[in-house]
Amino acid sequence: MAKLYFYYASMNAGKSSTLLQADFNYRERGMRTMLWTARLDTRSEGMVRSRIGLEADAHHYVPETDLYAAVMAAHRIEPVDCVLIDEAQFLTREQVWQCARLADQEGIPIVCYGLRTDFQGELFPGSAALLGIADKLVELKGVCHCGRKATMNLRVDASGAAVREGEQTEVGGNDRYVALCRRHFSEAIGLPK
């Protein structure tokens, strides 16, 4: 029975490289995968890219994309053995349910990778839906500068100062975000002790 998986972590924990390793493993065994990433992340240019230099072509999704219909259209031409979705925090609730339908009704494993929370410690809509209905939740471990597990994503400005307000989504990498443990995140944004 196929399942819906959600691999989640802070920034810089290896989500995209883990996705690309899974893609490689399927393809090495002669199986067909379908990779997706959010069009919102303009850095990707039609690719899933990891910070360690691995990359692969991917389809883009936007909030209006019907993932069930798109995957099934490809599956009818040539069977899809697994769907791998990067930046899954940007999925809509409806898209997460489309992924569940692909696993439940069509028998296609769906493996999602994304952030759990934003720079204010709030759940992303896609992550909230995945945490609620995924068959399997897997936390990938990032590391804070203190050596503890990084679970939070601190947004910083050009001078490295913590940003406390703004839109939930702002695309960026190491220039805009720092993965921290909860303690150092709380200190950086000035939460009461």
pLDDT at 51 (0 to 100): 73
Amino acid at position 82, single letter: C
pLDDT in tens, 41-72: 666 577 787 777 787 899 999 999 999 999 99
Note whether residue 95 is domain-resident: yes
Domain that holds residue 44: 4-141
Note whether residue 155 is domain-resident: no
Sign, CA torsion 125/110/38/67: negative
Note whether residue 146 is domain-resident: no
CA distances from 16 to 9, 115, 131, 135, 171 (A): 11, 11, 19, 20, 15
On whether the CB atoms of residues 20 and 56 are closer than 8 A, the answer is yes
Note whether residue 105 is domain-resident: yes
Note whether residue 73 is domain-resident: yes
3-state secondary structure 26-94: HHHCCCCEEEEEECCCCCCCCEEECCCCCEEECEEECCCCCHHHHHHHHHHHCCCCEEEECCHHHCCHH
- Which range among 111-120, 143-152, 175-184 shows the weakest confidence by mean pLDDT? 175-184
Phi, psi (degrees; rounded to nearest 5) at 138: -130, 120
Give me the CATH number covering residue 126: 3.40.50.300
Note whether residue 158 is domain-resident: no
pLDDT in tens, 133-150: 999 999 999 999 999 999
**How many domains does one find in the chain?**
1
Q: Could you list the active site residues?
A: 87
- Which range among 100-109, 137-146, 176-185 shows the weakest confidence by mean pLDDT? 176-185
pTM: 0.89
Note whether residue 61 is domain-resident: yes
DSSP character at residue 123? B
Note whether residue 172 is domain-resident: no
pLDDT at 166 (0 to 100): 62
pLDDT at 45 (0 to 100): 72
